Structure 1
Amino acid sequence: MIETGTMEQMLRPTADPAWLLATEGYDPLRESSFESRFAISNGFLGVRGGRAATRGARWVVPARTYVAGLFDKSDAQHAIPELIPAADWMKLRILLPGGALIQHPGDVSSHRITLDLQRGALLSECSRLKAPDISLRLRTLRFVSLSDRALGLQLIQLEIEEGEVEVTLEASFEGMNLGLASVQIDQHVGVWRTEHSGKSIAMASGSSLQVDGHDLFGTALGQLKSSWSWKTRAGQVVCFERSVAIVRSDVEAFNPAAAAIEKLGAARQLGWHGVTAAHEAAWASRWLLSDVLVDGDASVQQALRFAIYHLNSAANPGDERVSIGARALTGADYHGHVFWDTEIFLLPFYIFTWPEAARALLMYRFHTLDGARAKATRMGWRGALYAWESALTGAEAAPAQAIGPDRQVIPILCGSQEQHISADVAYAVWQYWQATGDDRFLREAGAEIILETGRFWSSRAKLEADGRRHIRGVIGPDEYHEDIDDNAYTNVMARWNVRRALDIAALLHERWPECWQSLASRLDIGEAELKQWRIVAESIAANPDPKTGLFQEFSGYFELERINLADYAGRSVPMDVVLGRERTQKSQVIKQADVVALLALLPNEFAGETGAENFRYYEPRCDHGSSLSPAMHGLVAARLGQSEKALRYFRKAAAIDLSDTHVAIDGGVHIAALGGNWMLVVLGFAGLSLRDDGIGVDPQLPAAWRSLSFGVQWRGRSLKIRIDQEKNRLEATLESGAPMMLVVGGAPPRELRQGNALQVDLSAELAPA
């Protein structure tokens, strides 16, 4: 039974405009970018934000549905794995005596799409669809459930404004053979499989339709297709709802159809209103733990909500076999592959607001550890070298070549040379353990990752005649410079990785000797190897110039051509396109934060004023040719007290996905840039940091912000922090968990207890910037 009044309420967006993102009309140049921006996802299912109304023959691209982990190759041996789209389960046509009611895109000046960030739902409204003898108003809602990730829901309401004609509503699936082979398609369920990867999915669907509150029985047309026919009249209200349940199978022997049918049956019994209530409750819970409130800058507030919405949409704590690709489940750029983006730019958000999701993402790296070991062995080293681009197994998925802007074939060396990924994964494992105290994860997975990546670096750094160990032939985060030696980011992170591996070995030996004995035996780690690691950690070439305090980005960097990027202000393409690849490689132009990224991740490596000196040197040399770069620069600027500059970097990063002057997001949102902006605000402006006994906060807010509020999870505790700039006061409340310590600025630690809110006078406690 569809309750018309309840559906009327459902089809209205959240009243508070601060939670809404909307667009009106139709712009053919930006339509695919809007589909990325308005995508809905739950970490298992992702649906691009395509229009839901009836489409004509000249607008046939389906609203792509992506299923996490559904990878396949175009051939068994040579191609790289790609994320394969599933069928669009929301196709709808309105058939009139003269043919289909066509909504031509260019004619839809009154069409409005609204992303309701608070409810995790996409709504659309067309004030008038008109054809001979009929005029109607159409409103829709869709979501994929955050409560039960197998489920999706589509609601449509038609209000007949004028016309008495025979009409048929036809609901079907579209794009059922886009890279998948069909195994079974009947009235209510379809099963498809990949050709090479052994994956399959089942999609079960059920629909109902009411006219003026009365059920109308449909006609089964087979192959996930049904129709309903009736005669319209002015004032008539038609309500349509469709549920879908999608199940992925990872083994060829298991047919997921029965599981999908069972999921759908439970959803139909609960009813669409029950499915909706559970979904909205799950989103309310996520926002309670992850929302960030900025008073004094409405544009920053909306950009943050947009970022947090997509971050909450991207993760699935219930599946340890998948991770988050560079575009999450909002598009197919980079083939859905997983990069260092996840560990460096996304994990901080999950660690501090959703530890269960962070754990699952790190378990993906544990499950792909054998692939990392195999890559290291193949390249002649020990330990684990993670794939630069990862999909299912951890085998390297980076393509070997690409076509450049000049249509020339360009070799891609990242898969073999961008090796800092192993230290990045280890860094995320350590940060997660430090923040959560999840000792079980450390013993069962995290320790092995850190030990094996530490072992890799110990074999990778080679002793040379100068008595130092060098790491040659790599690519750092600055991908404009390839096949370089002693990249500062790579070397310092490698040294950090080896030192943490030694710490882990000592910790396990002391606290869990049986665990250490078992793990050391299985990995064949003896005291002689640990001694060698200590030597390696002390001799890697990874130190700043003793006179200037500058880290040289890589050997020979200081001798390269200096190019004043200010002379190229206003360009619309990266500098490697302007200068050409060859000249760019011989210049000091940097693609993205490299030494600056090191300053963000390991600030203790920069003594005294050397952090500010390195930032001052490298910032003007960076052209931000990667979407990852602005937020990382902003984070460092905020920590250095350069809050207004940091705010400009925030706006630059936010514009990548939110500005209508950008059309480069047709392949999906830049999820790492969104995670980076959360980092910029919480780790930068608020100055949140991890300590052994608690957390630290060192606020550096932009001048116009009146206050900043956010929540933090730390070792089983939940706390809220509010920085009131007008009153120059910090308020901290421990909402759950045992007492803990909070350090504000350079002041001594303070104890936080439940029921006793802490207030700190910032004017008295903040250390000089």
Structure 2
Amino acid sequence: MLDLLQPTEAPGWVLAHEGYNVLTESAVESRFALGNGFLGMRAARSTSRGPTWVSWLGYIRWASWPRCYVAGLFDMPNTEPPVPALVPVADWSRVRLILDGEPLVSREGEMLRGLRRLDMRRGVLLSEWTHRTPAGITATGHELRLLSLADRAAGLQVQRVVLDRDGVDVRLEASFGLAGLGMEPIRLKNEVGTWRTEGTGKVVAMAGGAELRLEGASVPAERPFPLRWIWRWRSKAGQVAELARHVAVARSDRPAEDPTPHAEAALERGTNLGWRAVLRAHEAAWNDHWEDGGIDIDGDDDLERALRFAVYHLTSAANPDDDRVSIGARGLTGDAYFGHVFWDTETYLLPYYTAVWPEAARALLMYRYHMLPAARAKAELFGYRGALYPWESADTGEETTPETVLGPAGQPVEILTGKMEHHISADIAYAVWQYWRATGDDDFFRDAGVEILVETARFWASRAVAEADGGRHIRHVIGPDEYHEDVDDNAFTNVMARWNIARALDALDLLRKRWPDHAAALQDRIALDDGELDDWRDAVARIVTGLDPTTGLYEQFAGFHALKPLDVRDYVTHALPIDVVIGREQTQGSQVVKQADVVALIALLPEAFPGEGAAVNFRHYEPRCAHGSSLSAAMHARVAARLGDSEMALRYMRETASLDLDPDPNSAGGVRIAGLGGLWQAAILGIAGLNLAGETLELDPKLPPTWRRLSFKVRWRGRSVGLSITGDAVEATLIDGDEIDITVAGDTRTLQPRSPLHVSRSSAAFRGAVDVDA
């Protein structure tokens, strides 16, 4: 057993944290969190941490914040303002060890060793600890925990405990933490509990089974309460106690549907297999994902490890089998943002899933399709046509952004993002188009994608108002730069809106040609006529973009260049965000940018920056960005990489990686999964120059001089392709599927099965670029 509780030996696959610090404990629990897209679990210590319940004393900091989550399980807690939140379920991992009547807790006695390791290769959390009690008893434990990627309903905990002396009265308790659930219990039996959320009426069932063995012999358990097991014995020095606990979870979104049988069936599957077989199946599933999504870098071990960390959490967050849920801003790793879904998902996460795991990408986009009625309702509420997606979304598709919150002094602060940050509708349309171009998933395009494109285009056409100057303006918005609110003609918003409308027209033309019956039915159902389409074409021609044709520079929004210049470098040593340091009023009056705005537009729509346009705009906006969002640095890295400034790209990549990998990260509320998705983009869409939306699979590498090789796989229109990039060559292997054309640095070749293609180029061809510092 002990060998299975040891981590992967290959370097670069294991993150370790030793010791305990109340200031960093919650952050470690986020970083090392487990997930499989349906279930999420923070990496709280299972033994010796003591109980946790909700306290109103805000000045007391929890030493640990154990949390288990079920994707899509939202309810309305008793908060002000009322905001739907992801509901934590019972903590099933807690183990109490009581020695001669005294519980083993970390604050008493001496913790001689405490080590947690996240084995990303196997997708498991491993713990080791040695604790000496005040009475002088030394206990040593090893633990393995997982949420199965092979059976998403299942979790597993295996623990090994050894004492150093004879004659200790040992009591070991394994239980589900049922206090403070915020749900109404429906049924509690020995092996299963069922609860219902009070507001939304959703139902969750959790089933558990546990076995303890002493030196290999099974020990019967006392069962005083449901979902609780107690074992007692008298110790022998060196005697090994082995606990194996299986858990299974099921969710129902309708009160009339009982998920209990599904949880019980999943528990039976796991217990029948045995924990070793459950572990093997889980490891095999992770191995398959690493085969498809892994990234190897020869020449940069730190960023290779950071990218593995990114892929680990991206894989842990998605569930292709449930298209009624999406991925929140912190995944299933913490409580920040209440589990709400933002533009992060489509802009920062979808590229990874589209390129590596298109089944997951499709499910995430279908979530948005199912939420179209709510998006239409929001547009109508604001006086527009079409679909305006919510800035923050939960399980209904309704806007969940609070209108006001209480400031530090108790004063109400108005939140405008839900009312004005409209670019999310274009972001979703962009993800739809990119997914379809990359996958060729015509069924999705025909049955769902076109409707999203059309309804978001309809919104933008009604939002872009013709004025006396001959242009069509989009006023009173917030762009990605949230330091400046209620602005007019934000370049990112307007250019993305124009693109959205143009692609909707293209999509309708294609639908009419290939599926005329579907096109006619869609236009009839949503009352879309030729007169409205003419208005769309007018909008494409006349939407104001803020582009100065003389300089090639976009003005971030109308009046931005008239604001006071501010040298962001003067504030880099401050720990607090710049808007906090200089105040809201000065921030709004200055040319300081919160995060990639025009820079994000360069990344998403490079065709909007012909000639030197990308370099001109990047040179202008990069020094003005304060990076007040975890989304920002990765997008700057992607653009810097495309412009050939590998030094800047790597600096921004390392900055992004440090957000959740530093020893003392401020990630107690969960990992910043959008930043991790952006890190993947910087490497694959930036440095490798991958483009999946063209007529061929395209690659235009600009490898940093310090990288000897970058290797990864990608899926494109039903094919799986392995790519290996060096400074002067690209090798492509068609692993699965029919022959395709591949374009490397402008050179198009045919890639055939079982015949690797080697494309040589001079080193300068791959590294040559516009000098962004010129």
When residues 751 and 684 of structure 1 are mapped into structure 2, their CA distance, relative to the original with a 3 A threshold, is: same
Q: Does the Cα contact within 8 Å between 1:400 and 1:413 map onto a contact in 2?
A: yes
Q: In the alignment, is residue 173 of structure 1 matched against residue 176 of structure 2?
A: yes
What's the secondary structure of 2:121's corresponding residue? coil
Name 1:445's counterpart in structure 2: 448
Deviation at 1:613, TM superposition (A): 0.3
Distance 1:43 1:403 in 2: 33
When residues 80 and 102 of structure 1 are mapped into structure 2, their CA distance, relative to the original with a 3 A threshold, is: closer
Name 1:20's counterpart in structure 2: 14
Q: Does the Cα contact within 8 Å between 1:484 and 1:554 map onto a contact in 2?
A: yes
Which of 487, 490, 501 aligns to 1:484? It is 487
- After TM superposition, the score normalised by the length of structure 2 is 0.96
Which is further off, 484-493 or 162-171? 162-171
Name 1:49's counterpart in structure 2: 43
Deviation at 1:129, TM superposition (A): 4.2
When residues 464 and 450 of structure 1 are mapped into structure 2, their CA distance, relative to the original with a 3 A threshold, is: same
Q: In the alignment, is residue 83 of structure 1 matched against residue 77 of structure 2?
A: no
Distance 1:57 1:672 in 2: 32
When residues 262 and 708 of structure 1 are mapped into structure 2, their CA distance, relative to the original with a 3 A threshold, is: same
Deviation at 1:690, TM superposition (A): 2.5
What's the secondary structure of 1:108's corresponding residue? strand
What's the secondary structure of 2:263's corresponding residue? helix
Deviations 1:168-208 (A, max 9, x none): 11111114432212112232111111111121100000000
The aligned runs of 1:105-254 (5 Å cut-off) are: 107-130=110-133, 132=135, 134-254=137-257
State the AA in 2 paired with 1:127.
T
Q: Does the Cα contact within 8 Å between 1:26 and 1:105 map onto a contact in 2?
A: no
Deviation at 1:60, TM superposition (A): 7.7
Deviation at 1:745, TM superposition (A): 1.0
Deviation at 1:10, TM superposition (A): 1.5
Deviations 1:526-572 (A, max 9, x none): 11111111111111001510111100000000100000111222111
The aligned runs of 1:326-725 (5 Å cut-off) are: 326-404=329-407, 408-662=411-665, 664-725=666-727
Q: Does the Cα contact within 8 Å between 1:142 and 1:155 map onto a contact in 2?
A: yes
State the AA in 2 paired with 1:744.
V
Distance 1:168 1:151 in 2: 27
Which of 13, 20, 25 aligns to 1:31? It is 25
What's the secondary structure of 2:82's corresponding residue? coil
What's the secondary structure of 1:339's corresponding residue? coil
Percentage of matched positions with identical amino acids:
52
Q: Does the Cα contact within 8 Å between 1:476 and 1:489 map onto a contact in 2?
A: yes
Which of 287, 296, 312 aligns to 1:284? It is 287
State the AA in 2 paired with 1:760.
V
What's the secondary structure of 2:149's corresponding residue? coil
Q: Does the Cα contact within 8 Å between 1:746 and 1:767 map onto a contact in 2?
A: no
Q: Does the Cα contact within 8 Å between 1:183 and 1:191 map onto a contact in 2?
A: yes
Deviation at 1:160, TM superposition (A): 2.6
Name 2:730's counterpart in structure 1: 730
Which is further off, 187-196 or 637-646? 187-196
Deviation at 1:338, TM superposition (A): 0.1
Name 1:739's counterpart in structure 2: 739
Distance 1:639 1:317 in 2: 31
Which is further off, 562-571 or 405-414? 405-414
Which of 98, 101, 123 aligns to 2:101? It is 98
State the AA in 2 paired with 1:288.
E
Q: In the alignment, is residue 752 of structure 1 matched against residue 746 of structure 2?
A: no
Distance 2:548 2:244 in 1: 66
Which is further off, 222-231 or 623-632? 222-231
Deviation at 1:230, TM superposition (A): 1.2
Name 1:4's counterpart in structure 2: none
Distance 2:114 2:506 in 1: 59
Distance 1:57 1:249 in 2: 29
Q: Does the Cα contact within 8 Å between 2:49 and 2:64 map onto a contact in 1?
A: no
What's the secondary structure of 1:608's corresponding residue? coil
What's the secondary structure of 1:219's corresponding residue? coil
RMSD: 1.6
Deviations 1:17-36 (A, max 9, x none): 31000000011111111110
State the AA in 2 paired with 1:47.
M
Q: Does the Cα contact within 8 Å between 1:414 and 1:475 map onto a contact in 2?
A: yes
Name 2:300's counterpart in structure 1: 297
Name 1:258's counterpart in structure 2: 261
Distance 1:517 1:649 in 2: 48
Deviation at 1:369, TM superposition (A): 0.6
Name 1:3's counterpart in structure 2: none
- After TM superposition, the score normalised by the length of structure 1 is 0.97
Distance 2:410 2:650 in 1: 37
State the AA in 2 paired with 1:649.
Y
Q: Which runs of 5+ in 1 are unaligned?
A: 1-6
Deviations 1:104-128 (A, max 9, x none): 2894351000000001100000134
Distance 1:644 1:325 in 2: 32
Distance 1:101 1:416 in 2: 51
Q: Does the Cα contact within 8 Å between 1:75 and 1:196 map onto a contact in 2?
A: no
Distance 1:653 1:75 in 2: 35
Deviation at 1:697, TM superposition (A): 1.1
